[in-house]
Amino acid sequence: MSPSPPIAPDAGDCTVVRFSSEDYAPHERLAACREIYGRTLSKREIEPCSAEPFRTEATLWRMPGLGVAKARRSAAAYRLPREFVDSDDVFVTVGLTSRYEVHQFGRGLDLKPGEASLMTAAAPACLKVPAFGRYINVRAPRHILSSFVTDLDAAYGRPIPADDPALRLLIHYIGLLEETEGLAAPDLRRQAVTHVHDLMALAIGATREAAELAKRRGGQAALLRAIKQDIEDGLDRPDLSVATIAARHGVRPRWVQRLFEREGTTFTEYVLAQRLARAHRLLRSPRYARLKISAIALDTGFGDLSYFNRAFRRRYGVTPSDLRAAATAAD
């Protein structure tokens, strides 16, 4: 086996680990999965459950107080044997696309796609995956989560429903961190770790006082990030409104408004700023030099060209046509 090393240090105290069985020759893939992904990276013994070629693609983030793994992997039993037990960390595992089983302390769970399980790294355990699928695993120190959850030990072996709001936010938040590189900057990374702890505690079952703190801190931050991503994805829709966004996330419109007010702005002001910023980028880009300004206005959610011109000039001090002319001359 001779591909490049799978572990690459990232900036600061965050390490990103990537593994793909496709980096190895077909006859080496299972051995590489067992030794590198299994024993070295995940501290697991892997026992395939199918005669099909074994495949694994995984990305793992490691930093103080948090470990996150996103993987696509073949049908297998992934066992944590006693000799690999090296901490009392808490794991939340979510099977995103297929059913799976978890076994620990003599108890077993048969879980549906989207449901999560809670396990401890302090005792042997087994996760059985019957088909190739996508999974997320989030790991945090027990002493941090135990300060939020009254009886954490009693929660082991208990499923977390797929429609649990905190679990859904946790999954979405981790996806956004990956897409936006939210773990790259140290300050953002520390905030992100705290927010993930809060969402894990809320999904597991935080005490009343801890739940209030977690909702104010991690829950609200994750919700706001998810809402901003939805706004970014829907800037071309003239009907984008606080009501449609609130309905999508299952909260009241006033709650969405308050999230933006805490940042010193309003929902309407934020959407306008994002639309103008996208229009500004398009007008400066040579790639869209042949696209009419009216088309750019429509593509960024402005149904009224006169209003677009006024708002753009108010924001940037120049008209859209002046900006495009300056950008063309510079090229």
Q: What is the DSSP string of 14-59?
A: -EEEEEEGGGS-GGGHHHHIIIIIIIIII--EEEE-SSSPP-EEEE
Give the residue range(s) of CATH 2.60.120.10 domains in the chain.
15-264
Q: What is the pLDDT of residues 10-25, one digit of tens each?
A: 445 788 899 999 999 9
Question: Under CATH, what is the fold of the domain 271-329?
Answer: Arc Repressor Mutant, subunit A (1.10.10)
Q: Cα–Cα distance between 274 and 272 in angstroms, integer?
A: 5
| Greatest pairwise CA separation for the chain in angstroms | 72
Give CA separation, 13 vs 9, 124, 175, in Å: 9, 29, 20
pLDDT at 206 exceeding the cut of 80: no
108: Cβ–Cβ under 8 A, 6 or more apart, which residues? 101, 102
pLDDT at 3 exceeding the cut of 60: no
Give the chain's mean pLDDT: 85
pLDDT at 263 exceeding the cut of 60: yes
pLDDT at 102 exceeding the cut of 50: yes
Q: Are residues 214 and 140 in contact, defined by beta-carbon separation less than 8 angstroms?
A: no
3-state secondary structure of 77: strand
- Give mean pLDDT, residues 3-10: 45
Q: Which pLDDT value is given to residue 97? A: 93
Angle (CA) 116-119-124 rounded to 5° is 135
If pLDDT is split at 50, 70 and 90, which confidence band does 146 have?
confident
State the pTM of this model. Answer: 0.64
Q: Which pLDDT value is given to residue 182? A: 53
Token pair belonging to 62: 């490691």
Sign of CA dihedral 22, 28, 33, 39: negative
- Give mean pLDDT, residues 292-313: 92
CA–centroid distance for 229 within its chain: 12
| Range of weakest confidence among 15-29, 169-183, 283-297 | 169-183
Give the residue range(s) of CATH 1.10.10.60 domains in the chain.
271-329
Q: Which pLDDT value is given to residue 216? A: 57
CATH top-level class of 15-264: mainly beta
Sign of CA dihedral 172, 174, 175, 177: positive
Token pair belonging to 103: 């076994």
If pLDDT is split at 50, 70 and 90, which confidence band does 91 have?
very high
